[in-house]
A and B are shown apart, each in its own frame.
Chain A
Amino acid sequence: MIKNNNRYSDPRDTSGCGLVGFINRDGKRVDGSHIIKSLCLMKDRGNGLGAGFAAYGIYPDMADYYAIHMMMDDVNVKPNVEQAIVRFFTIHREEEIPTRSTPCIKNPPLFWRYFVEPKKEVMLTGEGDDDVVVRAVMEINNNISGAYVISSGKNMGAFKGVGEPADIADFFGIEDYRAYIWMGHTRFPTNTPGWWGGAHPFTILDWAIVHNGEITSYGTNRAFLEMFGYKCTLLTDTEVVAYALDFLLRQHKLPLRAAFYALASPFWKDIDIDSRENRELSEALKAIRIQYAPLLLNGPFAILFGWKSGLVGFNDRIKLRPLFAGEKDETLYMASEEATIREICAKPDRLWMPRAGEPVIGMIKEGAESWR
């Protein structure tokens, strides 16, 4: 599929992706019309070479199984994919992801979803269910030509492709899904091809990332993550952020803020200043910065990061890409532009410009019934 689409890639294009996401902290689900409406307002931030959505809470009746969203060049690849899937998993349900024929979407790949459970017998010593899923995703992305896992979490899914936000939403019928966390992205490819796999979000397990900017430290980050079995196959810098957060939060069990301080670590001069005010904090920041130096993200970025129990927005340390936040009752919104939030939340209780390097965190409340 990359062969078909990279003719659109123009190295002279300038940057300007648009992102938006919101979370209902009570776990109340809303249909996809809101995220579509807000993302479409930022149509002009992208150029039709990539748009996508991530949604949490969309498969309540299959919530116990990992939902593997597959993107395949054509139906000929499918037997190879299934061979790999049955090696790792027991399949509980499988179906084509419903799509509509849309005039602006040309030559789409085939989308299929499998609801699966990892087989106990494939687990290596010390491995759990999540580890098997990560290993399977890497195996499929790396070794099966023309097939990519688009998402692999429970009760969530990613939907993405080459097109304007409205067209991609129409293609996947996004308005019919109901979710308590929604993320959306419109792409303006700069350094890497505009192809179906390169659209955002990027995911692993139920971690999902949408991103505006450039990760100039991609090479360093990727080399480090490869040592731990993560393989970057989607030809885009953003992919490393999803794997880096899986590594920090799931494998190394870092507290949430600590993980973001590893990725967008304060400058040494600020750590020095903090050390006079709060010695313990500055020692922790120093340790994080040294220990996870290869995961420090360089370059300009605004990133939204979602998982089953939260949504976080964060910026590079000098805020070289826009990020805006708003709040209404139990819903927290974040987006590249204030107008994007106002489009779906006319009278927010609070609106603010988050500070550089300070994550904005929205968490599902304890005990909230996130499947409702």
Chain B
Amino acid sequence: MEIDAASVHYRDLNEEINRVIKEGERHLILKNVNGQRYIGAGLQGEDIRIDIYGVPGNDMAVFMDGPTIEVFDNAQDSVGNTMNAGRIYVHGHAGDVCGYGMRGGKLFVRGDAGYRVGIHMKAYMEKVPVLIIGGTAGHFLGEYMSGGTIILLGLERRPGQPLAGDYLGTGMHGGAIFVRGEVDSRRVGKEVGVEKPDDAEYQMLKKELAEFAKVFHLNYDEIMSTPFVKLYPKTHRPYGPLYNSRWFWQRGG
């Protein structure tokens, strides 16, 4: 079902989306979207699919739980904020704070992502979120990350454009960040170790990146032609001594 979102206020648009889904619609095509916030907010149902043409507003797919949203243009800030399950594919770039507190599902961005992306991502048992950025990312990628997987590819970089910003993985205490190519050690947070991914991790990368390449019609072999490095937390409790030094030293970290 097609909905024309031109000049429609976000509240009316989201009400309409919720209404038609309640009535049984499972595939929505939103045309002329421009800046409407909260599209797909809290939406449940793995069989729901939303195609978006135009630029959706902030907090797209916030708390989303199951559906697939494909954006055929750029997206703004806070895409997939605290999402629980489902898939988001953004064909252009995405703004700041994407994947904030993500707890499940997949978020694929074809182009660059802004600042503070993937902060506080977490994982629990079978819930392991995956965030893949095709281009570059700004400062604080994966800050305070406690679980899940971030993959940064740096495809089609402009000359002089760094792959990742500063404070990469600062305060990280779980999960892993995989970077295609080299990371500049001065950009990496103090709490982060850098090593080569093992075979099992390469198998996981192959599986995820095959899906990424398929979604955006990219050359999978070319993506895999450059080796990856893995960023991991050196300890699961980096700030223990800061707040409770006695407890920390007694337990040995």
What is the count of residue pairs linking A and B with beta-carbon distances less than 8 angstroms? 53
Check B93 against A343 for contact (C-beta < 8 Å). no
* Smallest beta-carbon distance A264→chain B, Å: 14
Check A339 against B57 for contact (C-beta < 8 Å). yes
* Smallest beta-carbon distance B131→chain A, Å: 17
* In the bound complex, CA of A27 to CA of B80 (Å): 41
Is A274 in contact with chain B by the CB < 8 A criterion?
no
Contact residues, A304-333 vs B (CB, 8 A)? 318-319, 322, 324
* In the bound complex, CA of A299 to CA of B74 (Å): 28
Q: Interface residue tally of chain A, by bracket?
A: 10 to 19
21 contacts between A and B (CB under 8 A): A44-B37, A269-B186, A319-B96, A319-B138, A322-B77, A322-B96, A324-B95, A337-B35, A337-B57, A337-B58, A338-B35, A338-B55, A338-B76, A339-B34, A339-B35, A342-B34, A343-B35, A351-B74, A353-B93, A353-B114, A356-B165
Check A318 against B55 for contact (C-beta < 8 Å). no
Check A41 against B77 for contact (C-beta < 8 Å). no
* Smallest beta-carbon distance B209→chain A, Å: 24
Q: Hey, which bits of chain B sit against chain A, CB under 8 A?
A: 10, 34-35, 37, 54-55, 57-58, 74, 76-77, 93, 95-96, 112, 114-115, 138-140, 165, 186
CB-based nearest A residue for B58? A337
Name the one of A318, A324, A353 contacting B139, with C-beta atoms under 8 angstroms.
A318
Check B57 against A318 for contact (C-beta < 8 Å). no
* Smallest beta-carbon distance B71→chain A, Å: 12
* Smallest beta-carbon distance B137→chain A, Å: 11
* Smallest beta-carbon distance B150→chain A, Å: 19
* In the bound complex, CA of A343 to CA of B54 (Å): 11
Contact residues, A162-197 vs B (CB, 8 A)? none
Contact residues, A269-311 vs B (CB, 8 A)? 269, 273
* Smallest beta-carbon distance A267→chain B, Å: 9
* Smallest beta-carbon distance A146→chain B, Å: 38
Contact residues in B for A343 (Cβ distance below 8 Å) = 34-35
Contact residues in A for B112 (Cβ distance below 8 Å) = 353
Check B77 against A44 for contact (C-beta < 8 Å). no
Is A340 in contact with chain B by the CB < 8 A criterion?
yes
* In the bound complex, CA of A319 to CA of B37 (Å): 21
Chain B contact surface mostly: loop
Contact residues in A for B57 (Cβ distance below 8 Å) = 337, 339
* Smallest beta-carbon distance A321→chain B, Å: 9
Check B95 against A41 for contact (C-beta < 8 Å). no
* In the bound complex, CA of A339 to CA of B54 (Å): 9
Beyond contacts A42-B35, A338-B74: 16 other A-B pairs, Cβ-Cβ < 8 A, are: A41-B35, A269-B186, A318-B139, A337-B77, A338-B76, A338-B95, A339-B55, A339-B57, A340-B35, A342-B34, A342-B35, A342-B55, A343-B35, A353-B93, A353-B95, A353-B138
* In the bound complex, CA of A355 to CA of B115 (Å): 9
CB-based nearest A residue for B78? A322
CB-based nearest A residue for B115? A319
Check A355 against B138 for contact (C-beta < 8 Å). yes
Contact residues in B for A342 (Cβ distance below 8 Å) = 34-35, 54-55
* Smallest beta-carbon distance A316→chain B, Å: 11
Q: Which of A273, A319, A340 has the most B CB atoms < 10 Å from its CB?
A: A319
Q: Which of B10, B35, B114, B115 has the most A CB atoms < 10 Å from its CB?
A: B35
CB-based nearest A residue for B34? A339
* In the bound complex, CA of A318 to CA of B166 (Å): 9
Contact residues in A for B93 (Cβ distance below 8 Å) = 353
Check A273 against B55 for contact (C-beta < 8 Å). no
CB-based nearest B residue for A272? B186
Contact residues in B for A355 (Cβ distance below 8 Å) = 138
* In the bound complex, CA of A44 to CA of B35 (Å): 11
Check B140 against A318 for contact (C-beta < 8 Å). yes
* Smallest beta-carbon distance A67→chain B, Å: 34
* Smallest beta-carbon distance B57→chain A, Å: 6
* In the bound complex, CA of A351 to CA of B114 (Å): 13
